[in-house]
């Protein structure tokens, strides 16, 4: 499957380095040419000999090593022929170096000099992962088109927490997706909504919700990778825009409705992943509300249901997918929305995973049993949802 593909696989000094052995071994079995580059710390955890044996290529630990005598300017020669540069595991340190353009060892130098696609599989302590500096570095790299897989929650060297590396099998699946993309959405026009809406109370305040927009953005990325022409209609979010996806920014439910209805007639598929406000202040004050009274009562009015409006326009050829957020009787509630909103598919998501990196939930369609998934990265869930959409 990966014949003729050249992969540079960087290993950095995280305890998950031993799992990179399985990744290298599987990539080799799939036919890829793999060159392993190790940081000095990584060599303290796994020996270069292990990777040399698995990859059947010299392991790069030093840019001036005799091992690479056959290659003229090795880091350039290798990166020029690479289809993918991946880092497994990726520590906070290598993420920081890559985001800052630092090139002080073979791996950071290759990351900087390569124009190939890039994939990082982070693994680190929970507090390091949550550090805003690390998150900003990741955002910077994502903005540049670098892909990330994981981390997930699990047992770390320092106890239970967020920061465990994605499993080798998932990493290999992602490599296949990147290098041999399925183009089963080629030519399809896909409209996706994401994030939460904001309903103004006055010029500075609004009623909103905790939606991060991550699920909608992951769906947009996955649909684009699979060949679709994607338009993303999003409420305010901090998510980086996937490459080659059109973005329409909106704030209120009314703006989102107008944006969806304007484009729906041209779409083959609409996925409403947005958390749309059901109520808005009946009257937004043009001036900032002053704190005058002891109590302040807000009068709210219903917003229009976008999917109800879409249902009236939908043709037989178009597919519409909704999300359902339920805190009780999840499956019954989602099944009701599937029917009443005239959906082809509904994804019932667990409110506890509403604004996080992972998602648990169930996919329901008119004909077929619910498919449950738990604790998946939103990228992985996006792939599964698209697979199900293909099947309806
Ligand atoms: N939705 C919509 N327009 C709205 C509210 C929600 O199109 N004004 C869409 C959402 O994008 C989602 C689906 O309807 O795809 C279900 O949203 P959800 O919030 O779970 O349910 P509601 O329809 O708002 O009903 P309730 O909040 O009463 O459960």
Q: In the chain, which stretches have pLDDT less than 50? A: none
Closest C-alpha to ligand 1, atom 8: 305
Residue 67: predicted pLDDT: 64
| CB 79, CB 113: distance < 8 Å | yes
Does ligand 1 come within 6 angstroms of the Cβ of 276? yes
- Give the separation between CA 279 and CA 262, rounded to whole angstroms: 22
Omega before residue 89 within 30° of 0, cis = yes
Q: Which tokens hold the place of 207?
A: 């009623």
- Cα–ligand 1 centroid distance for 358 (angstroms): 21
Residue 157: predicted pLDDT: 83
Q: Which residues contact 7 (CB under 8 A, 6 or more apart)?
A: 27, 32, 33, 34, 35, 82, 83, 84, 85, 86, 175
Does ligand 1 come within 6 angstroms of the Cβ of 88? no
For a pocket test of ligand 1, which of 277, 300, 307, 334 has the largest count of ligand atoms closer than 8 A to its C-beta?
Answer: 307
For a pocket test of ligand 1, which of 324, 349, 364 has the largest count of ligand atoms closer than 8 A to its C-beta?
Answer: 324
Residue 357: predicted pLDDT: 85
C-alpha to C-alpha distances, 133 to 16, 92, 129, 136, 140, nearest whole angstrom:
22, 9, 9, 5, 11
Is residue 158 flagged as an active site residue? yes
Going by their DSSP bridges, the two strands 84-90 and 6-11 should be labelled as: parallel
- Cα–ligand 1 centroid distance for 375 (angstroms): 23
Active-site entry in 76, 157, 158, 300: 158
Residue 133 has a CB neighbour count (10 Å cut-off) of: 12
Q: Which tokens hold the place of 206?
A: 């609004």
Does ligand 1 come within 6 angstroms of the Cβ of 190? no
- Give the separation between CA 200 and CA 280, rounded to whole angstroms: 8
Determine the longest span between alpha carbons in the chain, in angstroms. Answer: 80
Does ligand 1 come within 6 angstroms of the Cβ of 320? no
Listing DSSP states for 249-282 in one string gives: E--SHHHHHHHHHHHHTT-SEEEE-SB--SEEES
- Cα–ligand 1 centroid distance for 230 (angstroms): 22
Give the torsion sign (CA, 233, 238, 242, 247).
positive
pTM: 0.78
Q: What are phi and psi of 237, to 5 degrees?
A: -155, 165
- Give the separation between CA 172 and CA 326, rounded to whole angstroms: 34
Query: Residue 83 class from Cβ within 10 Å (0-12 exposed, 13-18 middle, 19+ buried)?
Result: middle
- Cα–ligand 1 centroid distance for 74 (angstroms): 55
| CB 194, CB 234: distance < 8 Å | yes
| CB 324, CB 349: distance < 8 Å | yes
* Domains of the chain, CATH where assigned: 6-179 (3.40.50.1950), 189-390 (3.40.50.10300)
- Cα–ligand 1 centroid distance for 244 (angstroms): 28
């Amino acid at each position: 499957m990966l014949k003729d593909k050249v992969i540079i696989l960087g290993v950095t000094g995280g305890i998950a380095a031993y799992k990179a052995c399985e990744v290298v071994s599987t990539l080799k079995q799939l036919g890829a040419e793999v060159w392993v580059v190790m940081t000095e710390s990584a060599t303290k955890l796994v020996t270069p000999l292990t990777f040399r044996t698995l990859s059947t290529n010299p392991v790069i630990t030093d840019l001036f090593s005799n091992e690479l005598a056959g290659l003229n300017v090795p880091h350039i020669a290798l990166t020029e022929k690479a289809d993918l540069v991946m880092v497994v595991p990726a520590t906070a340190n290598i993420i920081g170096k890559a985001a800052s353009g630092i090139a002080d060892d073979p791996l950071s130098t290759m990351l900087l000099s390569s124009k190939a696609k890039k994939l990082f599989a982070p693994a680190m302590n929970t507090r390091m992962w949550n550090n805003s500096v690390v998150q900003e570095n990741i955002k910077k790299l994502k903005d540049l088109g670098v892909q990330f897989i994981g981390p997930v929650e699990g047992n770390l060297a320092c106890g239970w927490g967020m920061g465990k590396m994605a499993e080798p099998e998932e990493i290999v699946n992602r490599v296949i997706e990147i290098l041999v993309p399925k183009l089963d959405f080629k030519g399809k026009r896909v409209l996706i909504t994401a994030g939460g809406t904001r309903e103004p109370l006055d010029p500075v305040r609004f009623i909103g919700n905790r939606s991060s927009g991550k699920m909608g953005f992951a769906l947009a990325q996955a649909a684009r990778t699979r060949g679709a022409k994607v338009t993303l209609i999003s409420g305010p979010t901090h998510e980086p825009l996937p490459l080659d996806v059109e973005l329409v920014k909106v704030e209120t439910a009314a703006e989102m409705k107008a944006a969806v209805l304007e484009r729906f007639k041209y779409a083959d598929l609409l996925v409403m992943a947005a958390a749309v406000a059901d109520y808005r202040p009946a009257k937004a004050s043009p001036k900032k509300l002053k704190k005058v009274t002891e109590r302040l009562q807000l009068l709210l009015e219903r917003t229009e249901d976008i999917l109800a409006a879409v249902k009236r326009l939908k043709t037989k050829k178009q597919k519409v997918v909704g999300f359902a957020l339920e805190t009780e009787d999840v499956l019954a509630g989602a099944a009701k929305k599937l029917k009443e909103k005239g959906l082809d598919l509904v994804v019932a998501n667990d409110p506890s995973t509403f604004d996080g990196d992972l998602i648990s939930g169930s996919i329901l369609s008119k004909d077929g049993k619910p498919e449950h998934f738990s604790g998946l990265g939103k990228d992985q869930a996006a792939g599964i949802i698209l697979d199900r959409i293909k099947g309806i």
